[in-house]
Amino acid sequence: MTSNVRLIARLDIKGPNLIKGIHLEGLRIIGDPNIFARKYYDAGVDEIIYMDTVASLYGRNNLSDIVKKTVKDVYVPITVGGGIRSIDDVKYLLRCGAEKVAINTAATKNPGLIKEVSRKFGSQCMVLSIEAKRKENSWEVYTENGRQKTGLDVMDWVRIGEDNEAGEILLTSVDNEGTKKGFDYELIKKVSESVSIPVIASGGMGEYDHLNEVVKESCADAVAMADILHYERSTIQEIREYCIKSNINVRDYE
């Protein structure tokens, strides 16, 4: 392991609220996303991901106000996802203060959008967001917060994403999301071995050992956490200290 593993707070948003569910469903209001983002920043989080969970209902991403407030006092990279369908959408969110965009639905319908975003704004800006559900011995790509089948095989799709110059992959296991039972280690390992771009593991973080396994055994480059942080079952500081004790390379934080 050469580069530092990034510790990322994932904040799923519905309207003005931070929410949390299980399998991306049964959403419960947690609170004001800006307050949580600031708390995680103060605690030393490496990055923040904002996902608009109802963007498909509005036909566009509605996180601009939240992002504008966040960047006033949070100085880590912010990724914004949900409902991003065009270069203009990307341009607008970057102007609001996002550093990266995560695209799922629009990319499945038009893979060329991945390359278009990457070429215009840099590959580091283009995150391919994948919602995966297990299907016997494989995984299928889903959209609309894990509700809509695409018929795409995840392993085929990640290679297409890399070929179209995606900078990294946000890989969410819909089956494991919100369960606190751990990541889909097999899925993350197979994707990590199939592409050379960074893979962010998302969905299932419930305890420290889950992070250890997904990094050391499944080769994740970053870990996105929600439940464990939102419900204060652990803190970014404690997770970082655990990583250091477990010989997982993470950024020094003072």
| Residue of 12, 46, 168, 184 marked catalytic | 12
β-bridge pairing 126-135 and 168-173: parallel
| Residue of 47, 52, 89, 131 marked catalytic | 131
Could you tell me which residues come within 8 angstroms of residue 93 by beta carbon, excluding any fewer than 6 positions away? 61, 63, 64, 67, 80, 84, 101
β-bridge pairing 138-143 and 126-135: antiparallel
CA neighbor of 80 nearest in space, from 17, 177, 12: 12
* Alpha-carbon gap, residue 187 to 191, rounded angstroms: 6
Q: Is 232 exposed, middle or buried (0-12, 13-18, 19+ CB in 10 A)?
A: exposed
CB atoms within 10 A of CB 193: 12
> Does residue 12 have an active-site annotation?
yes
Cβ-contact 46, 79 below 8 angstroms = no
Catalytic positions, written as ranges: 12, 131
